[in-house]
Amino acid sequence: MAQKPWLNGLGMIIVWIVLHPTMIAAQQPALSLIPIPANLQAGSGSLRVDSSFTFALAGHSEPRLGRAAERFLRQLALQTSIPLSPKPAKNSNATLMIHTGHASREIQEVGEDESYVLEVSATGAKLIAPTPLGTMHGLQTFLQLVNVSPDGFAAPAVTIHDQPRFPWRGLMIDSARHFIPLDVIRRNLDGMEAVKMNVFHWHLSENQGFRIESKKFPKLHGLGSDGLYYTQEEVRDVIAYARDRGIRVVPEFDMPGHSTAWFVGHPELASGKGPYEIERRWGIFDPAIDPTNEKVYKLLDDLIGEMARIFPDHFFHIGGDEVNGKEWDANPKIQAYMKDHGIKNNDALQAYFSGRVQKLVVKHGKIVVGWDEVLVPGVPKDIVIQSWRGQASLALAAKQGFRGILSNGYYLDLGWPAGRHYAVDPMSGDAGNLSPEEKQHILGGESCMWAEYVNAENVDSRIWPRNAAIAERLWSPQEVRDPASMYARLDFISARLEWLGLTHKTYYRRMLQRIAGPSSPEEFAALRTLADLVEPVKDYTREQTAPAQPTSATPMNRVVDAVPLESDAGRHFGELVDQYLASSCHDAALADRLRAQLSRWRDNDAQLQPLAQRSLLVKEVAARSQDLSALGAAGLAALDAIAKGQPALDSWKSEQLAVIEQAKKPKAQLLLIPAPSVQKLVEAASAGGACFAAKL
Ligand code: ACM
């Protein structure tokens, strides 16, 4: 993860091109790579990709590389609709020559060489990598280079020297709160491969479910999962599927809290009296493993041993987060044990538990990963801290010599825009002040998909495309941080991810159609217009604003479940308003575009209301629809005032601001994204506002 100098000479110019794809669109196809490579130099011309395209594999050979090449060909054929020969060419005249130096480790390691060099010229392409990991990354880059051109498909001439900034670039999926079926897991692994992420952290146990088969303790999944669990064979298949894509699989068994589902079959492990049932609600609950019970360690020894044999990865996640200690406080036996053993408080009791579990994990040949809470005095230095509570705790861990990965700032379930995740850097905040040696302890980061409000249908959309922005943050040089460029490239990768089988775009229409029920094209279009401009409420307010207590049985069939977490239409409207105001309200073409959108919004409610009368699920957003119409009218009135050159009256401004305040409030757990931008127009149209300030 050593950072290489990359901004130099010609590289600087080329990087500028990559970072400003829209500005060069007229001269040549934009390079929409994501993540941006460490070093890229543009050549001249382009390599045609047609039915004569062949590839040849040389150097180190292994079945995984053959499968990667076949996958690559399938994808290329899909992108281009050109039938391509799936067999490698024998001669050295192949269009794409691939050379792999040597095998990678049998069990993929943190910090293994993932670099590659890709040279594309008008006459052919060469991909050279020390290990299959680099080869696979290079193939993904090549796929992103190929695009349609006026005379067919082509990859622009480039020379790319690429390697990751961080060795640990992960996505965590919580399969426990809602069970996530295997095909969904697999297509997300495909997505990870496309953006060069290399760790799948699989959150397998929770209060709401124990999701993996244990042959030693069949009551764990048998009574703790409602029958929704992965068999060991299925898990082995996923691990092989991930390895084929250069992805490690790290399992998480969250303990001693977040463990109610364990106790349904094994109440003897718990600190309370029970009986226990699978938890159906969301939140932090009292049940916790009893750290003072030797039977616990006997079971964990056997269970960790069983799981350690299934998951080859060197790392094993033991959770450790959010133990409220109430069952410990209420149990006289535990209190007596603490007194006898000089364990002063619950933090110390958890440290004692973590220490015992860590020894078992080490006994079975693994290294412990845990959430920040496991970082307490006395824990062994080789554990890895996953920081979810803040960047400060990551820096603190690194200072004390612990390796760490950042997840704070990368929680996909909080509904942040991609740009906000993108701005979070594992080396910023307190980590920015670490010494170079301490910085070496920061291995990278992981995005986290917690599953309270996702299911098989909408989970892709809660992960993608925003996860690609985090993938870039963890792969590309730190200096790559222009959000405008990122968003331009995110649109591109988003479309391509759908070709891999991800459904983050297509699910949306399907869900909206179900919500609408029978509807005319105009009515459905009106629903879509509204839905495109709203986002679910952010952070942890979903729970607080719910119409009834949400549980794992709550249907996910509402508009809030269907709309993407980031509104592209809302963001684009905001950009348009900013551009218009930056033109001091003189740009007539921009004014026309704003007017067209605002008119459509103003008139949208009339189209939608008949449908709202017929569909309960549309009715829920009827008030949002009225707010959108009001925003449309306010924005149009502002543009009228500007066009007339007459600043709007203060009384009008106050009225409009009151309307906008209403529109800003969450309703039906939805935020109306354009409200602040319409407010900017109203303020600009008023006396002393941006459009009139110069004339006063
Ligand atoms: C966590 O979010 N409790 C790890």
Please report, for the chain, the start and end positions of each structural domain, with discontinuous segments joined by +: 39-162, 205-442+451-477, 506-693
pLDDT tens by residue, 602-627 = 999 999 999 999 999 999 999 999 99
Least confident of 196-205, 264-273, 646-655: 646-655
Q: Which of 173, 200, 183, 203 is nearest to 503 (CA)?
A: 183
Residue 461 has pLDDT above 60, yes or no: yes
CA 629–ligand 1 middle distance (angstroms): 39
- What CATH number has the domain spanning 39-162? 3.30.379.10
* Beta-ladder partners of 39: 161
Task: Give the pLDDT score at 380.
Answer: 86
Alpha-helical (H) ranges within 175-258 are 182-194, 218-224, 232-243
Known catalytic residue: 655?
no
pLDDT at position 279: 98
Task: Write out pLDDT tens, residues 68-116.
Answer: 999 999 999 998 988 888 788 877 789 999 999 999 999 999 999 999 9
> Please, what is the average pLDDT of the chain?
93
**Full DSSP string of 302-319:** HHHHHHHHH--SSEEE--
Q: For residue 335, is pLDDT > 70?
A: yes
Alpha-carbon distance values, 41 to 25, 313, 382, 602 (Å): 17, 36, 40, 48
Tokens, residue 398 = 């690194």
CB distance 371 to ligand 1 below 6 Å? yes
Residue 206 in tokens:
């929770």
Q: What is the mean pLDDT of residues 642-649?
A: 93
Indicate the pLDDT class of residue 376, thresholds 50, 70 and 90.
confident
Binding site membership of 388 for ligand 1 (Cβ less than 6 Å): yes
User: Which atom of ligand 1 sits closest to the CA of residue 386?
Assistant: 4
Beta partners for residue 47, in sequence order: 155
Distances, alpha carbon 343 to alpha carbons 135, 329, 420, 576, in Å? 52, 13, 42, 61
**Whether residue 262 has its Cβ less than 6 Å from ligand 1:** no
Catalytic residue from among 234, 322, 498, 543: 322
**Spatial distance between the Cα atoms of 555 and 561, rounded to a whole number of angstroms:** 9
Q: 457 CA to middle of ligand 1, Å? A: 23
Question: Closest ligand 1 atom to the C-alpha of 258?
Answer: 3
Distance 254 CA to ligand 1 centre (A): 10
Distance CA 443, CA 452 (A): 28
Q: Are 153 and 143 in contact (CB under 8 A)?
A: no
Ligand 1 mean position, distance from CA 251 (Å): 15
Best mutation site among 322, 324, 410 for ligand 1, i.e. most ligand atoms within 8 A of its Cβ? Answer: 322
Task: Give strand pairing partners of 56.
Answer: 97
- Is the CB–ligand 1 distance for residue 321 below 6 Å? yes
Q: Is the beta carbon of 492 within 6 A of some atom in ligand 1?
A: no
Q: Which atom of ligand 1 is nearest to the CA of 371?
A: 4
Is 322's C-beta closer than 6 angstroms to any atom of ligand 1? Answer: yes
How far is the centre of ligand 1, averaged over its atoms, from the C-alpha of 485 (Å)?
31
Cβ neighbourhood burial of 645 (10 Å; 0-12, 13-18, 19+): exposed
Nearest CA to ligand 1 atom 2: 388
Q: What is the pLDDT of residues 535-572, one digit of tens each?
A: 999 999 998 899 899 999 999 999 999 999 999 999 99
Task: Read off the tokens for 8.
Answer: 């130099």
Rounded Cα distance, 507 and 670, in Å? 19
DSSP string, 144-180: HH-EEETTEEEEEEEEEEE--S-SEEEEEEE-SSS--
Pick the atom of ligand 1 nearest to 411's CA.
Answer: 2
Tell me if domain 39-162 and domain 205-442+451-477 are identical in fold: no
373: CA distance to ligand 1 center in Å? Answer: 10
Q: For 149-162, how does the pLDDT look when each residue is reduced to its tens digit (9 = 90+)? A: 888 999 999 999 99
Distance from the alpha carbon of residue 173 to the mean position of ligand 1, in angstroms:
12
* Atom of ligand 1 minimally distant from the CA of 321: 3
CATH topology of domain 205-442+451-477: TIM Barrel (3.20.20)
381 CA to centre of own chain: 29
